[in-house]
Every structure is written in structure tokens, then in C-alpha cells.
Structure 1
Amino acid sequence: MLGILGTSESLAGEARQHWDREFDVIVVGCGLAGASAAYEAARSGAVVLVLDSGGAAANASHGTIIYMGGGTGLQKACQIEDTPEAMMKYLLASTGPDPDTGRIRVFVERSVANYDWLVSLGVPFSNAPDNLSLEYSGSEKVYPWREMIRPVPRGHIPDVPGSKSLYRGGGAWIQKRLLDGARSAGAATPLNAVARRIVRGHDGVVQGVVATIDGRSFSFRARRGLILATGGFAHNKEMVSEHAPIYLGCTPTDLKWNDGWGIRAAQSVGAAVRRMGSAGAGWYFYHPASRRQGVLVNAQGQRFISEDSYSGRVGDAIVREQHGIAYLIVDRTIMDDGASTVIPDAIAAQAASIADLEGLLGIPAPALQQTLDTYNTYATKGQDPLFHKALEHLRPLSQGPFTAINASVGKSRVSFFTLGGVHTTPGAEVLDTEGKTIPKLYAVGRVSAGIPCPYYYSSGLNLGECITFGRIAGIGAARNRT
């Protein structure tokens, strides 16, 4: 696919580096971030090489929701009023302590343009009431954010042709379209290409990459820029153990190629890393929605979060604050509504009364009984003074038998993906340990430290970041001088 490999030489500092082939821009990794970068670089006239160990199909982005707002065409079609200022305010408030203001500002300012760009590529979005491509995908409707900023839905879900559900393959569908566009503009995309090492000259400029293709080693020069889009490190137990050990018992949601290579390779040429202990954990219990009427308790039988919280907040609260142990207490009415979706192994215990359930779970009496008595007393009045659950999800749990659905790490599917990574500028340029940019090196997607910190993640920020900063890196690298 690369054609006949030419031979050239380039001066790398004081040593001479042999190059098997030269390109303007090399992208390592072809998920949605890499595909966005490759597309924009190729469409900008650069000669592009995309290297990916699993091939385009194997490394397809598995997410679907894209977080966009500020007044997108879909929001307007649905008569949803949103502004960049409102979106900025929400993200600054909800993405955790010490938010990356510069990165968030760029993300917000480009959001409407990114939506228009996706539409121009033929990505479909539906405003039909029975097939809506827009939803609340984070904490917008949850206390305290609903009282700080007017709730607005910003989760955009591509209405993929031929799909039976809006939740099937939107990210992968877009990624394939972008890679096809990059190929049509001349980008080379060999299969089974494993990047091994970044080449940086003695002058500090990144010059290329050494890779293995079908067992043969090649050195590729990147005249204008090298873009890392290799994902996070959720599948590297050694790195998780070192940087984010509390997530070791969780199930990685990332694809298996997210092994941290890009982060380590960037560090080997002087890159700084940031927020390596950050991860997004999720316990996806909220379908059907009636489960939000249940009560989440810890090992002491106490509530610790509002049950209508976004699943990422719930999962991270379980992992970070409750030592990985939690149960969702529901009554017969809730179980009857969604019993078919409960995996039998996830049921920790069932009993005719809360007191009996308490004993089966090993919770010290009468803690669980007191928790439910207090909850029911206020729920009857439409109140939740402790956690301010929305009224639509408040009702007493009174219809036995009662069930404890296990939400514990190792007993239920608490999943995670890493959020820490290479430190970059809002222009996706990699920074070194002194805060200076490493010339011609970029990092996008989960290989870089993202917008959210732990505990405050909103669905769609991942793909939204991939598109935003992938495009920025592709255009920026293509414009560099050779």
C-alpha cells in the first residue's frame, strides 16, 4: 500500500538518520482523533501516512455520542436555545477542579463549526421526535448544576443509516468516512503497522518514527509533523497500577490497543504528562430510567450520591469514595419494569423486608432500615434534602420483595477509561517538562490529558475532543514548514 519504498537520508542532529520513506505528516493511531487529523492534513495538501497496529476497522471508535453545543443546527431544529457562553459556563463548572480553561474555550468556540463540518461530510442527525439525535448526556439536569446553569441537551447522536438503534456505531461510521476521505486525498494507510519509536533530532525537532509493518522495520520521516492518536493506557496493567491503581478491578472500555505506547513514546523524547491518575469510571444502571427511583447505598447502608446522577459520576463515586462497594436497592415495582435487563449474577440479595435484606448484605443493623425510612419519608413529600434527586425520580420504595443490585467493582460491570496523558497546548502541540513545545509533535484523543477530571465526566466529551483537536492537529501540522 505504500508503493515502492524509496530511500533517503536526513540529518538528525549530529547523527545521520536513514529514512525509508518521507511524508509531510504522519499520524499514529486511526481512531476518531487520528482519522480527523489525517483527513484534515490530507485535505490541506499534505502527503500523509497513517500507522495503526490493528488497521482502521480494528481500531474503530466505539463511542457514539458527540458533545457539541452553543447553538448547533440540530439544537436549533429542536428549538433548543443554547449559547457558547452557557456551554462554557457548564463545562467549567462540571469538568472537575482546576479546569483547563484554554482547552475548554477552544472546544466550545469550535463546537458549532464541528457540527457543520460533520453535516457537510454526510453525517446524519435526526430531529424526529421518535428518533431524536439529541439528549442530555451529562450532569446538566442534576443538582447542583441544574441550579447553576439552565439545563441544555448537548449529546449529539449520529443517526447512522441502516442502524436499528441510535447507539450503534456512530463514532466508527464517522471514522470510516474520514479515513476514506483521507485515502481519496492520497493518504497511505498500511495494515498491521506498529509504531516503535519516535525520532527526535539533537536540535529538539521531532523528525519521524520507526515502525514495523508485516514484520519489517521502516524509518519514516515526518517533514511537517508527527501526530500521536494512540489512545490511553487502560489495557496496560503496569501503567494503571503505577498511576491509577484504584481502577485495577474495573473493566476497560477502551479497545485493546490502548496500551499507553503513545504516552511512553512521547515521554521518551521529553514530553510532560498530566493528570495520570484521572479516569472515567461508569456503572451503567440507568436503563430503564425507573432504576433511578432506587436508592444507592454503600457498605454501611448509607446513601452517597443522587441516583439520577450521570453514570460516570456514579461509577467514580463508587470507585474513589466507597472503596468499590455499593448496592442499588429497588422494590418490586422497579424490578418488574426492568427485570429482563438485570443480569442474575448482579443480584446481590433479595428479601421480603428491608431488615432481612440488610442482614443478607451484612450491613450493620439498623443502618439500611434507617436510610430507607428517611428516604421514604421525604420522597412521600416530593423532597430529597440530602442529595436533591429530581422530583421525577422520587417515590417511596414500599413494594416488597426488595432487591439489592450489586454495583461493586468485581461483582458488577464497573468500566473505566483513562483521562490522563501527554500535556498539550490548546493547539494540540506537545509540551515538554519545562512547559515548552516540542517542535512538530502533536497529541490528540486519549493519549493526551483531556478536558474532564475524574468524577465529572459527560458522555460525548471524548468524541467531541477527538474531532476538535484532531482537526486542529491535522491542519496545524500540514501548515508547518518542511
Structure 2
Amino acid sequence: MASPSASPPASGDGTLPIDAPHYVDGGAMQWHDHCDVLVVGLGAAGAASAIEASDHGADVLICERFDGGGATALSGGVVYAGGGTAYQKAAGYDDTPTAMARYLATEVGDAVRPETLDRFCQESVGLLQWLESLGVPFASEPKPPKTSYPRDGVYLYFSGNEAVPENAAIAAPAPRGHRCRATGMSGAALYQYLRRAVDERPIRVRTQTATRRLVVDQATGRVLGVEVATLPPGSAAARRHQRLSRLAQRLHNVAGGLADRLRVKARRLEDEHADIQHIEARNGVVLTTGGFIFNRDMVAKHAPAYSGNLRLGATGCDGSGIRLGQSVGAQCARLEKVSAWRFINPPSPWPQGLIVNAEGQRFCNEEVYGARLGVRMCEEHGGRAWLIVDRAIRRRAIREALFGKLWAFQSIPALLMMWFAPRARTLAGLARRLKMTTAALEAAAHAMNDAIDQQRDDPMGKSDGMRHALREPPFYALNISADNPTFPCPAITLGGLRIDEGNGQVLNAADDAIPGLFAAGRAAVGLASNGYVSGLSLADCFWSGRRAGRNAATRSEDAAASVEADAIDRKAG
């Protein structure tokens, strides 16, 4: 097998380089392996694509650069589902696909067509049942809470903005966050169920195999397969690559710079020791490599407001699938869209406080979902914000953080911030400490308090149950800015390759399908590409992954011949 040719130097964060397509003339290609459907990446979207393609009779091969799991295994394992799931009904909620679609339209916007959103909601109950058929367990709750992530033992909750008054007026609120039943963060368990389902099928999996470029027919533009750099299984280089990659992931949240250096070393092992192979995909290639939050250059170019946020996800979230599509003329959209998570619940008393920007101006309803708050903070206020609370809120929040059975990642930062927060006996004194405009902070607090006293609606639309007049000194300022190392504001990217929403095929600049190329999950534009609520990305990964895998597997030769003939005619014309 050939050694890899010289490649660009390893980037500072270990980003995988993508080479220009390998164009071939008809059958003039020597393949090292063959399959019907080749899936690039093994997370939620990759597993769903592979399982669906296999269940429709295709010979499926997965190429995964690392061990598998990606961002899915690191997630909370929450699937956004509704329309009348068994768990909603058991909790006493009569949700409908129509109500689900009405609410989601406020989050999804125009990222997908209305009929696509409607179809997703109509198929939501069936999607959850499909996951259950793979062994994934869920559960119901007598009183589903509203929280950033529920404690162990709670598996159904309000994971978005459903109960915020402006949304509740559109559709009856219902809990739609279905967390995989497991101990600890549920994403790892969810991935294990998916991996077991893959292994139970005649699906081949190649790990430590990086897809570096696409192989394309010169005459038709059809994607015929891929070129991969694969580390020899069991070799010393493969073992070291695995150790470095796993350690980088473990260190990422606490020592990001060191983690990046480890990723660079792993990349160099790929450059120096991987074998280059060409794999034919007779029906198509499905790109499911995730977003690009780990690609600093892409973030700086498309979403610079988020360059300082904590990168949330896995090393493979470096835009490699997006860049593979771009290499053959694919069209991208919404690359500027990012979800930044600034959750202030729990502790549950915090949203009763007052959120202001660096000038002291209130800019958001404090009870909204954390991604809505985070995006506004990063894009409109330079990533700077403070949560103002009084002694009463702080006392109740400390009690919940100490004794409320919160996750450590929720309770420890909250306690540290409350213990060391700037404080003052008056709001004017607090504004001076923070170098804010005193009049602005006082005006924001007085407007909120006066609305309570006069029984008027909150100026920002906060619901009655979350309202509290700031009166009991001292007053505290909690730094919820994006760059606070004690209270990180993690971010993921939401945009990607434009696809045909009916079958998952990747589109070029002329809105024509690129023959033989599909995409799913965060490598593609989908339901979560406008805004984000917990569980929607995973649900979209499963839904779009199944769509791409099914259509890649069932692509008829007549349809393929027609597409290729059209491509030849366009070139001739």
C-alpha cells in the first residue's frame, strides 16, 4: 500500500487537511475496497445513516478518524421528541405534531422549509420508537422540570423555551426533552446502544481512518468513492494515535492548549504512518462528520464573535465533511450560525435576577433557554453580561447548589461565582464597582421592580413565576460573560452543506444535486441550523441520517443514469 504523499503542516489545533478531489476517467481507478454506501464519521448521524442503509439491503462501510462516538458520546444524550410520545402521555401531556411544529417554527425559522419541519414533527413519535427498537431506553416523569440538564433519575424535561409566555401563547407547552435513561451524562450510553446496533448488522467499521478527499468521475461529476489515510490496525502508530486522541479529549475542558498540542501530534502520526487507500462507494458517500467548532480558521472566518468560547464537541468537529463537500462545488449556508450556551438555571432562583450588559442595560428575558441568551450576549453585546441578584436570591441559590443534587458542572461554578462576586449595599455602588453607567443599571432594576409593584407585565416578558423585585441588599454581580473561565460559555456550529431536504443529497451552487454525495447531521443544514434547544441537534442527526442512508441505499441505477446523463448534457451544452 502506498505511503501518504506530502500534506500541509499540521495546524495548531490538529485540523484534518482536505485535498482537492481525485478526478478519474470512467473506470480508470484501482480500488482497495468496495461498498454500496460509505459513511464518513460514526456519531449519531453516521450510525443512523449506516443502520438505515444496511436495513435497506446495502453493503455499508463506515470510515471513522478516531474511535467513534464524536460529539454524540460527549453529549447529554437528549433527543427532542414530541407530538404525543408515550412518555409525554404518561406525564399527563397531550402533545400533538401540530403544537410541536408551531413551537419549533419559532426556533427553526427558515433553516428548512415548513413542510420539512411538519414532516419531522409528524414522524417524531416514530423516530423515538425506532431508537427504542435499537435498545435505547427512555422514561417519563410525574412533574417534568425546566432545567439546563436534569439530574440522574429524571429523563423527561422542558428542554427549550416552550413555557416562556411568548411561546406558550403560540402552542400549549409540553416537555420534549427525552434523555436516554442512564447514570451520568447520557450521551456515552446512547452511543453504546447505537454502536451495538451497528455491530449487530453486516456493517464494516474502519476506525483511525481519515477521509482526506473524494474520488470523482471526470465526465459526470459523480462522486465514486473516497481516498482515506488509514493507520495499520494494531500498529504502534495506531495505538499511540488512539492514546493521544483520548487524552486530548479528556483534557480539552481544563487544558485546551495542551489538548491541541496532543491533537497536532496525533495528526502527524497520520501524516507519517497512514496508508493511502481508495474505496469505491457504488451508491454514494454520506458525510456525517459534525460541525466545525474545532477549526479555528473556519470559526474566525464565519463566526468570529465566538472565537473565544469554549469549543464544545469532539476533535473531529473540524469541518472536514463540510470541506469535502466544498471541494466538489457544494453550496454551504448558515456557517455564521452558532449556538452558545449560557445557562443560568440551575440554580433555579437565578433567572429571578436581572441580566445586564457591560453598560448596565437589561437586554433579555432571564428565563429563556440558555442558547437564546448566549447568542444575544455574544453577537449583540460583545460576549459581556452580568447577572444581578440580591441577598434573597443568592441565599436560595446557594442552598440549592449545596443540597439540590445538581451536577458538579452546575453547582461548583455557581458556588464559586456567588462566593466571590462583586457586591455593594446599593445598585449605584455596584455599578461603580463594575464601571457601568449608574443610571442605566438603576433604571433597569427600577423598571423590573415597578412592573411587579404595579402588577404590569414584565418589560422583557418574564413569566409571573420567575419575577422577583430586587430589594434586599447587598446586591451581587455574577459575571456570566463568555470569557469567564470559572463559568465557560460553550459553543457549537450549526451551519453546513446545503442539501435536498427530500433525500439528503448535497447541492451545488446551481441547486443541482451532486451525484453520489449525501450529508446529514451538523455537516449539513438542518432543523437545528437557525437556533438550538436541547435535544434538537441529536434528533436532527437521527432523522436526517436515516433519510440520507435510506436514499443512498435505494438509489436506483435508472435514476443514477438519468442524473449522470443530465450532467453530461449540461457540460455538452
TM-score normalised over the length of structure 1: 0.92
Question: How do 1:7-406 and structure 2 match up within 5 A?
Answer: 12-14=24-26, 16-57=28-69, 60-63=72-75, 64-96=77-109, 99-129=112-142, 131-160=153-182, 163=183, 165=184, 168-169=185-186, 171-202=187-218, 203-214=220-231, 215-339=274-398, 340=401, 341=411, 342=414, 344=416, 349-406=422-479
How many percent of aligned residue pairs carry the same amino acid? 34
CA distance in structure 2 between the aligned counterparts of 1:109 and 1:212, rounded to whole angstroms:
41
> Aligned AA for 2:117?
I
In structure 2, C-alpha distance between the alignment counterparts of 1:97 and 1:23, rounded to whole Å? 36
Aligned residue for 2:550?
475
Q: What is the alpha-carbon distance in structure 1 between the residues aligned to residue 216 and residue 195 of structure 2?
A: 27
Report the Cα distance in structure 1 between the residues aligned to 2:39 and 2:30, rounded to whole angstroms: 20
Measured in 2, the distance between the counterparts of 1:98 and 1:106 equals: 14
Q: Please identify, of 49-58 and 226-235, the stretch whose mean Cα deviation from structure 2 is larger.
A: 49-58
| 2:510 corresponds to 1:434 | yes
Q: Which has the higher helix share?
A: 2
Do the aligned partners of 1:383 and 1:391 also contact (CA within 8 Å) in 2?
A: no
* Alpha-carbon displacement from aligned partner over 1:94-118 (angstroms, at most 9, x marks no partner): 3235653243233212211101111
* Cα drift, residue 276 of structure 1: 1.1
Give the superposed CA RMSD.
2.1
1:359 aligned partner, one-letter code: R
Are the aligned partners of 2:39 and 2:49 in contact in 1 as well (CA < 8 Å)? yes
Q: Which secondary structure does the structure 2 equivalent of 1:440 belong to? A: strand
TM-fit CA distance, 1:328: 0.4
Describe the shift of the 1:406–1:58 C-alpha distance in structure 2 as closer, same or farther (beyond 3 A): same
- In structure 2, the residue corresponding to 1:259 is in which secondary structure? coil
- Give me the whole-angstrom Cα distance separating, in 2, the residues matched to 1:34 and 1:80: 32
Relative distance call for 1:95 and 1:225 in structure 2 (3 A) is same
Q: Quick check: 1:38–1:179 contact (8 Å CA) kept in 2?
A: no
Taking structure 1 as reference, are residues 48 and 452 closer, same or farther at Cα in structure 2, changes over 3 Å only? closer
* Aligned AA (2:506): V
- Determine which of 493, 500, 507 is the counterpart of 1:425: 500
Q: Which letter does structure 2 place at the counterpart of 1:181?
A: A
- The aligned residue for residue 457 of structure 1 is 532
Could you tell me how far 1:355 is from its partner in structure 2? 1.5
In the alignment, is the contact (CA less than 8 A) between 2:160 and 2:369 conserved in 1? yes
Aligned-partner Cα distance in 2 for 1:59–1:190 = 18
Deviations 1:220-259 (A, max 9, x none): 1111111100000111111111111111111111212100
In structure 2, distance between residues paired with 1:59 and 1:289: 27
What amino acid is the match of 1:450? G
Moved more, 444-453 or 124-133: 124-133
CA–CA distance in structure 2, aligned partners of residues 273 and 58 of structure 1: 22
2:519 aligns with: 443
Change (3 A) 1:99 1:208: closer
Distance 1:267 1:328, change over 3 A: same
Q: How many equivalent residue pairs?
A: 466
Q: Give distance in 2, aligned partners of 1:148 and 1:62.
A: 33
Q: 1:433 to 1:402 in 2, by over 3 A?
A: same
Displacement after TM superposition at 1:174 (Å): 2.6
- Find the residue that maps to 1:387 and give its secondary structure: coil
Question: SS state of the match for residue 339, structure 2?
Answer: strand
With over 3 angstroms needed to count, the CA separation of the structure-2 counterparts of 1:97 and 1:357, relative to structure 1, is farther
Q: Which residue of 2 aligns with 1:3?
A: none
2:349 aligned counterpart, secondary structure: helix
In structure 2, runs of 5+ residues without a counterpart are 1-21, 144-152, 232-273, 402-410, 558-573
Q: Which residue identity lines up with residue 417 of structure 1 in the other structure?
A: I
C-alpha separation between the residues in 1 aligned to 2:388 and 2:126? 44
SS at match of 1:457: coil
* Contact 1:56–1:176 (CA under 8 A) maintained in structure 2: no
Counterpart position of 1:7: none
- Provide the rounded CA distance (Å) in 1 between the counterparts of 2:422 and 2:134: 50
CA contact (8 A) 1:348 1:361 kept: no
Residue by residue over 1:321-344, the C-alpha shift from the partner in whole angstroms, topping out at 9 and shown as x without a partner, is 112111000112222233353253
- TM superposition shift of 1:149: 1.8
Q: CA deviation at 1:128?
A: 4.3
Report the Cα distance in structure 1 between the residues aligned to 2:99 and 2:71, rounded to whole angstroms. 34
1:316, 1:176 → 2: CA distance? 32
SS in 2 for 1:212: strand
CA distances 1:64-90 after superposition (whole Å, capped 9, x unpaired)? 221111111212222211111111222
Aligned with 2:422: secondary structure?
strand
**Normalised by the size of structure 2, how large is the TM-score?**
0.78
Q: For structure 1, which runs of at least 5 residues remain unmatched after alignment?
A: 1-9
1:5 aligned residue: none
Matching residue's letter, 1:143: P
SS of equivalent residue, structure 2 residue 336: coil
Q: In structure 2, what is the Cα distance between the partners aligned to 1:392 and 1:13?
A: 68
Task: Return 235-244 or 125-134, whichever deviates more.
Answer: 125-134
How far the C-alpha of 1:183 sits from its partner, in A, is: 2.1
- Are the structure 2 counterparts of residues 77 and 106 from structure 1 closer, same or farther at C-alpha, using a change threshold of 3 Å? same
Range 68-77 or range 102-111, more displaced? 102-111
Question: Residue 381 of structure 1: CA displacement?
Answer: 4.5
Return 310-319 or 32-41, whichever deviates more: 32-41
Distance 1:148 1:429, change over 3 A: same
Distance in 1 (alpha carbons) for counterparts of 2:27 and 2:553: 26
Q: Which residue of 2 aligns with 1:4?
A: none
Counterpart residue type for residue 302 of structure 1: Q
- Give the secondary structure class of the aligned counterpart of 1:71: coil
- Confirm or deny: 8 A CA contact 2:528 2:540 kept in the other structure: no
Distance 1:11 1:239 in 2: 26
- Whichever residue aligns with residue 13 of structure 1, its letter is D
Contact 2:70 2:313 in 1 (8 A): no
Conserved? CA contact 2:451–2:459, under 8 Å:
no
CA contact (8 A) 1:30 1:59 kept: no
Kindly state the Cα deviation for residue 198 of structure 1 after the two structures are TM-superposed.
Answer: 1.1
Structure 1 position 179, deviation (Å): 2.3
Partners of 1:79 and 1:280 lie apart in 2 by: 31
